[in-house]
Structure 1
Amino acid sequence: MGVCLAWAAWAPAHSASGVDVDSTTPYLGIGINQLSYFDGAQAMADVVRESQFRGTDWSETPSVDAHGNPTQDFILIFSSNRFAAGTYTLVFQGWANVGVSGAAENGGAGPYITNKRYNKITNTTTADVVVPNTLTGNCWFNFNQTRRTSASTRSDGLSNLHFWRPGYPADGSVLFTQEFVKAMKKFHVIRGMDFVSANSNASVNWSDRTDMNFQGYVGSKGQPWELLVQLANATDRDLWINVPVQANDAYIRNLAGLIRYGSDGVTPYSRTQTNPVYAPLKAGLRVYVEYGNELWNSGPGFYGFGWSLNLATKYMADTTHPIAYDGALTDTYLAHRRWIAYRSASIGLIFRQVFGDAAMMGTVRPVLASQVGNANVYLSEGLKWAEGFYGQVRTSPANSVARQVNQLWWGAGGAAYYDSTTAPTDTSAATMRAYFAGLPSAEFASNTAIDATWSRGYGLKSVAYEGGPGPGGSSSGSATGSVELAATYNADSRMWARMKAAHQIYTANGGELLNYYVYSGSPPWDFVNDLNPGVVSDTSTVKLRTIDTIRMAPKAAPTLGTAVPGTVWFPNGGSVGVQFDGAANWRYNGQAIRLPVTTGTGGKAFSGMALIPIRAEQAGTYRFSLAMYPEADTQVELMINGELAGTFNIPGTCGGICADNAYATSPVIKAALPAGLSVVRVRPVNNDIWIRRLIVR
């Protein structure tokens, strides 16, 4: 059921939390898992949303109708952990003999059903389910001799089944438990990747998706989009969505319409409604739009990798398609990197059509997600391709409006997970002491810096779609140790200091938004207490208390890059934080790096470049120049945070090859810098250039 309130059209984003990436305190997100009887979230007022229908023989594929309602006698599993004592309300359409099973803690009395009533006129059964003592382990209902309608003569199932927690109304006016809402409010963004089963969601058409009338466990189809929007509204928190990899344009347009206008539970509205059945995203909240999840990840369960790779392969030789605008591709994985960027950008452009230009990058924030630390060059290749293709108007492949990269995406980056230099192989005092002493390893800072340099170099925010510590977790998303081992580390008081330090490292190295993974259901990474599962949503575990501290503490000052006024040297491998792309080699006694101009049809987007992080204590106008070896007349672009600041016109004075001491200084370009971290890009336009250093005064 929906809440019938008047909802205004979208307004300029100003999250109810009052915090954004430019605030003085950190801006944080949290991932939520798929709803299930075993996820431990205790999120829903209606327990059926976290339950699973089974056949009477416990088979996982009972006969159901289009909305998931059983069409036979069945079992409903509603918990496999701990289940709170109290009086619950059971309601369903139809009639059945109902039994309830569950073992109470410490040998106490088990659950029972009382006050069962059937209204033949409305074909509705109601009952109280009394749980005298907290239950433990598997808990379930048996529904036998079911009669879907008053005229039924056989076991043909039921419909519209609900199981309301104590203290919550049985009319659907409250969707989420108060403790779950409290836990979500510790963060600023809610990411629903697992909630909508992004890794296995094979939806292509809008009709494939789960609608709000669906009952029970949704599996690979994911929860209804309306439910995720209602969670953002109930918590006053920004929303992060993961669009199914194979979804067609009509699906995406419907999804954008649902978020902007709401829906009737099946079909999105196309304009503002006075009384929507399911409300749109609340005015002032933001929506982050990500394509799939970890499409670079070929590990078990990450079906998006294969789906997106197949799509890339389909178009890689088609020069009328944007990913091959500069010629047919022969490298399948280059095509894959471009496809991810292409589809991510095109999804953002569909949202632009639905929401309008004024909403983009404020209310609607598309994100290009990649492998951490620009691994396998998913980030850099995607950014260069996008700048090359979208940077000018084209007829074939068509691009009707020239756009900068920061008009396609709001942010970009990889994950922000961090490990220790010591593996959590056991819970001995020595191993745990070494684990926390080495958490996080130095790689965390360098990976964050790489992603931040590439993202900011194109005018994007540096964001991590997922991250945090995961003791005992593997790279494929599974636990390499026992649940108890991971939970022991997560519940240790030393986790507080190390998580706090890691977030400061993340911020100091240019990170701006970190979505922690995950609230519940994945023991190495989750924020609930797996050592002692609760009967309501956890709100005060060590990791959640750490989030309280991180959220309120001032952000760390940037340490990435060279302080300016100052000089960035490029000797023997470059300065810390500088990223080189397309640089062939060092020359002039190891004092200069060659940035080659592109000779391909892709345009200057693919010329060699240096991305140089710098940090200014004060905003102001600065003077930029290059020390270089001018072998030929060369034009070199100077870009600051993705915007062209000017072009150096450098006359060649060496006649081909300069002497080692024959470097020269370019003319000066004056340009504004904000206070804090910026990334400068220098890139040749017409000839190769050998650059020795960047000078900022």
Structure 2
Amino acid sequence: MIRTWLAAGALALSAYPAGAERDAARVYIFGNSLVNHLSEQSAQTSVPYWLGQMAQAGGRGLALDGEWGFLRDFADSLPPVPNWSFPAVQGAWSSGDFGSADFDAVIVTPANFIQYQLPDVPYDGDNPSGESPFGATLRLFDWVHEAEPGARLFVYEGWSEIGSVTGGFPPSPEAARRYQDHNAGDYHLWYTDLIDRLNTARPDRSVTLIPVASALADLLGEGGLLQDMPAEALYTDADGHGTPTLYLLAAMAVWPHLYETPPPEGFTPPATLHPLLAEHYAEIAAALWQATPAPAPERAEAAPDTPETAAEPLPERQPVALPPPGLRPEGVPALGMGLNGLADWSTQHPFLNLMKTARPWVGHADGQWGAVSTEALRAGGHLSEDGWPLSLPEGVTALEAVLLTDQPEEAEFLRGDYVLTYSGKGDLSLTGRARRIRPEPGRITFSYDPGEGLVGVKLTATDAADPIRDIAIVRQEMLPLHEAGALFNPLWLERVQDFRSVRFMDWMMTNGSPIQTWADRPRLTDATWTEWGVPPEVMIRLANQIGADPWFTMPHMADDDYIRRFAGMVAEGLDPRLKAYVEYSNEVWNRIFPQSVWANDQATALWGTSETGWAQFYAMRAAQVMDLWSEAFEDESRLIRVVATHTGWPGLEETILQAPLAYLKLGHLPADSFDAYAVTGYFGYEMGGEDMAQRMNAWLDRSEEAATAKGEAQGLRRVALREFVKDTRFDAAIAPVTLALQEGSLRQLVEEVFPYHADAADKAGLRLVMYEGGTHVTAHGAQVDDERLTDFFTAFNYSPEMAKLYELLLAGWTASGGTLFNAFVDVAPASKWGSWGRCGISTTPTRAGTC
């Protein structure tokens, strides 16, 4: 920030040592329209143009080339292809490779609409490689450094979009001040975070921020030299394209970084620009110079690791003090849990009847397994409304449903004898891992051992008048419970019975749900609940049985009748001592989900094209859904109506809660229809990407070396040493990763993100809750296939140190005013895709931090 320095006026312009200034600059810019806005009216909407004008006035040389594009495209399209030219600005690169141009400065410009999430978070949308702005910038600078090692590296901080902050263009004076505060605040922090990450990843060189947006915000904001300059004198549209006045100011902010000297005294802004610029030119130049830090000293090439440097000790792993099992520490918030989705391969097993988690029926034909899909069977009339086979299509040799797929061998509770019962007549058999099969009329008993493979329920014939149906598969010792009407596996109930709330997002198959009407709902009689989701009666019954508040997520396309009936069923059937949380769909802001695309289409149909239409439609429909639930609950104290926002997109919550287009439809602010404001609380994403790969590999290498040395010191040899290293190879890497998380994403979460959203919730009069949260320490991108990294992350995610990190997370959440904390999820095996489960199977030890 430079506002505090402006009072000094024209201070002595000597921030750099005498003689440090440069007489000439050879510059390449990976840019966009915030650096060079092509305009038929004027060549002056360009930073390079004004740099050239100032260079002429100051007697300095400038050679410059550049190109337009997006950060990801720059990194993917190397070598660069220059396509800029400017009056009175000489090009630097005419032929040969990039290095032959002798560039001494390279500037990279990120887009100004990606700052809603951290720079190391992958781009939304089509992004199969998981690329992030940080990763793209790092790749680009790596290439530049290889091609031209002597070039100084800069990131240009272009100003943010206007419309996303002010809600329209031109902004009111109050909105314009809010916009400049945004540029100087959260928007600027995104860039400083990016710079910190770049310099941490590549300590052998320095990347410098050119803080254009934040520097100009101090000039243009309240109390600044140019506070009286209207927004229309600077910007021409809601995207942030500017006038010549704005681009000259930006060039003045860039100049000190290129020449290491103040903007030239001999330059006079032309009269065609806003008069305040000419009036205060000297003071503006002084302020921008004072705001420019001295350049970092050139760093020597990083010396290769020597035995001495490689042997520097890692932080030692310390004993972790945790509360005794079952003891709830003081100050811990109410803990909820998202329930994992149903699938034949899931290790959750919440129901006594395993058929409810089987894969739907498919048909085999001509030696091809699954040649006829479930959808085709249904369309051909071969399945009943409940999903039971009625007939086999011509040419189909068998129908089959599968369950217990690839269950881990350590799932001992699954090992044993099972009973399959059914109604109807036909030829039914078992395949796969089913053993000691004993068929009887209406009943088949079999034994099962968990492991790779599956159990298949195979139908080769069925009686058209009395088709086989109502299949149930129950562990033999649990059969009395099932026959008495019990639904839930008691071993699984032990894992969820202590939660204060359970979120049913995955059980309801919320993301991309096809449900539109009450007739579409899942039913108790459905053959399996993996196709349409779990019936509402079952979710209500679970909540009542374990005494947990249910959290329902309404299908995005559900009509009003569906909402009324669902809400009425909950109001009537839920234990009156419990509260019902209700949310409209899940992450409608997230463009990777079909509900977000649908919401955007609905918004366009209602209001035409709008940058915020999808969010305003979400606000409108969510408020309507909440109002319908309120009608169903006579006692609204039993109801908690939830609105969610993108945790990493500050300002989106204002669009959702205020939503002027939604207001016109509703007749009231959307915020008035909600009780709770929900965010996520994930940490650790940064550990698993390509950007951290070098550091993670170094920690793991040194940890394995330490384990080997420790085993050898104990006199172990051969097999004994190998087993010792296998058991302890990650021990020494636990501490540095823990410290990195404490000082990294976890700290940012509890010190910046949570307080921000707590303040937003408080201003809206809503309680702060979490809809998902916890560890996000998992590999992504190319690192997903690194088996050693997966093994380490699995060990780390269930370590005492992770439990301690959860304590810090929960403490920070509570300190910020957070209430219900929902972790994600109850039971799921660890894999290369993540360690999401509180436990891996329904009888394994839990992640201590969520107990």
- What range describes the TM-score normalised by the shorter chain of this pair? 0.5 to 0.7
Give the match for residue 380 of structure 1: 654
Larger RCO (CA within 8 A; separation ≥ 6) = 1
Matched, 1:467 2:741: no
User: 2:785, 2:763 → 1: CA distance?
Assistant: 37
Q: Secondary structure at the match of 2:453?
A: strand
TM-score between both structures, scaled by the size of structure 2: 0.50
Residue pairs, 1:641-680, within 5 angstroms: none
Q: For 1:235-634, what aligned pairs fall within 5 Å after superposition? A: 235-261=546-572, 280-299=573-592, 302-316=593-607, 332-356=610-634, 359-360=635-636, 362-373=637-648, 375=649, 377-385=651-659, 397=665, 399=667, 405=671, 407-419=672-684, 422-423=687-688, 425=693, 428=700, 429=703, 431-440=733-742, 441=745, 442-445=747-750, 446-472=752-778, 484-521=791-828, 523=830, 524-530=834-840, 534=841, 537-538=842-843, 540-541=845-846, 543=847, 545-548=848-851
In 2, Cα distance between equivalents of 1:191 and 1:473: 26
- Give the Cα–Cα distance (whole angstroms) in 2 for the partners of residues 337 and 404 of structure 1: 11
Q: Partners in 2 of 1:345 and 1:480 — Cα distance?
A: 43
User: Distance in 2 between the 1:443 and 1:385 partners?
Assistant: 29
Encode CA deviations 1:545-590: one digit per residue, 9 max, x unaligned: 3222xxxxxxxxxxxxxxxxxxxxxxxxxxxxxxxxxxxxxxxxxx
Q: Aligned equivalents of 1:68 and 1:304: distance in 2? A: 26
1:137 is matched with 452
1:76 paired to 2:388: no
1:18-57 deviations in whole A, cap 9, x for unaligned?
Answer: xxxxx95411111112211112102110001111133344
The 1:432–1:422 alpha-carbon spacing in structure 2 relative to 1, beyond 3 Å, is: farther
Aligned residue type for 2:611 = Y
AA partner of residue 773 (structure 2): G
Partner SS state of residue 415, structure 1: strand
Kindly provide the CA deviation profile for residues 203-259 of structure 1, in whole angstroms up to 9, marking residues without a partner as x: 11112222221112533x322222222221221111001111111111111111121
In the aligned structure 1, how far is the partner of 2:569 from the partner of 2:642? 19
Quote the residue 1:595 is aligned against.
Answer: none
C-alpha displacement of 1:163:
0.4
Q: 2:619·2:670 contact (CA, 8 Å) conserved in 1?
A: no
Determine the C-alpha separation between the residues in 2 that align with 1:520 and 1:240: 18
Task: Report the Cα distance in structure 2 between the residues aligned to 1:382 and 1:480, rounded to whole angstroms.
Answer: 39
2-side partners of 1:309 and 1:163: how far apart? 43
SS of the aligned residue for 2:452 comes to strand
Contact 2:596 2:614 in 1 (8 A): no
Alpha-carbon deviation of 1:348? 0.9
1:335 positional shift: 2.1
- SS of the residue corresponding to residue 89 of structure 1 reads strand
Where do 1:227-242 residues align within 5 Å? Answer: 227-242=538-553
- More helix, by proportion: 2
**SS of residue paired to 1:240:** strand
Deviations 1:600-619 (A, max 9, x none): xxxxxxxxxxxxxxxxxxxx
Matched residue, 1:54: 362
Q: Which structure has the larger Rg over C-alpha atoms?
A: 2
2:444 counterpart of 1:127: yes
Counterparts of 1:171 and 1:529, CA distance in 2: 29
Displacement after TM superposition at 1:160 (Å): 0.8
Query: Which shows bigger deviation, 208-217 or 194-203?
Result: 208-217
Aligned partner of 1:238: which letter?
D
Counterpart Cα distance in 2 of 1:410 and 1:474: 36
User: How far has the Cα of 1:491 moved from its partner?
Assistant: 2.4
- Distance of 2:399 and 2:845 partners within structure 1: 37
How many residue pairs get aligned? The number is 451
Q: Residue in 1 aligned with 2:347?
A: 40
The alpha-carbon distance between structure 1 residues 479 and 514, as it changes in their structure 2 partners (threshold 3 A), is: farther
Per the TM alignment, residue 479 of structure 1 is displaced from its structure 2 partner at its CA by 6.1
Separation in 1, partners of 2:569, 2:560: 14
**CA distances 1:369-404 after superposition (whole Å, capped 9, x unpaired):** 01004x162212222338x976xxxxx7464xx689
Pairing 1:92–2:422 present: yes
SS in 1 for 2:657: helix
User: How far did residue 102 of structure 1 move?
Assistant: 4.3
Deviations 1:483-515 (A, max 9, x none): 645423322232111111111112222222221
- Unaligned segments of structure 1, at least 5 residues: 1-22, 104-109, 119-124, 262-279, 318-329, 391-395, 549-697
Counterpart residue type for residue 76 of structure 1: A
Name the structure with the higher strand share. 1
Cα offsets for 1:275-305 (capped at 9, x unmatched): xxxxx22221111111111111112xx1111
Following TM superposition, by how much is the alpha carbon of 1:144 offset from its aligned partner in structure 2, in angstroms?
3.6
The equivalent position to 2:384 in structure 1, one of 61, 65, 68, is 65
SS at match of 1:227: helix
**Deviates most, 67-76 or 286-295:** 67-76
Name the CA shift for 1:307/1:480 in 2 (closer, same or farther; >3 Å).
Answer: farther
Contact 1:421 / 1:438 at 8 angstroms: preserved in 2? no
Q: Give the residue type in structure 1 aligned to 2:558.
A: A
* 1:443 to partner: Cα distance: 2.2
Helix, strand or coil at the partner of 1:346: helix
Q: Secondary structure at the match of 2:454?
A: strand
**CA distance in 2 between partners of 1:397 and 1:43 (Å):** 42
**One-letter identity of the residue aligned with 2:681:** A
Distance in 2 between residues matched to 1:145 and 1:398, nearest whole Å:
56
Deviations 1:62-115 (A, max 9, x none): 432211112334223111214622222211112344443445xxxxxx62222x
Q: Which residue of 2 aligns with 1:3?
A: none
CA distance in 2, matches of 1:522, 1:366: 32
**Does structure 1 conserve the Cα–Cα contact (< 8 Å) formed by 2:540 and 2:574?**
yes
SS in 2 for 1:437: helix
SS for the counterpart of 2:561 is helix
1:441-491 Cα deviation digits (max 9, x unpaired): 23212111111110011111011111110211559xx96766645423322
Are 1:214 and 2:526 counterparts? yes
1:204 paired residue number: 516
Q: Is the 8 A contact 1:94 1:146 kept in 2?
A: no
TM-score, normalised via structure 1 length: 0.60
1:414 partner SS: strand
> Are 1:164 and 2:474 matched, yes or no?
yes
The CA distance in 2 between the partners of 1:479 and 1:284, in whole Å, is 45
Q: 1:239 to 1:480 in 2, by over 3 A?
A: farther
The amino acid of 1:368's aligned partner reads V
Conserved 8 A contact 1:31-1:193: yes
Q: CA deviation at 1:127?
A: 2.8
- Whether the 8 Å CA contact 2:399–2:460 is kept in 1: the answer is no
What is the aligned-residue RMSD (CA, Å)?
2.9
Q: Which amino acid aligns with 2:580?
A: V
Report the more deviating stretch, 91-100 or 441-450. Answer: 91-100
SS in 2 for 1:112: strand
Asked if structure 1 preserves the Cα contact closer than 8 Å seen for 2:347 and 2:829, the reply is no
C-alpha distance in structure 2 between counterparts of 1:202 and 1:384, whole Å: 29
| Distance verdict in 2 for CA 1:39–1:398, change over 3 Å | closer
Note closer, same or farther for the CA distance 1:409–1:234 as it changes in structure 2 (3 Å cut): same
Q: Distance in 2 between matches of 1:403 and 1:298?
A: 24
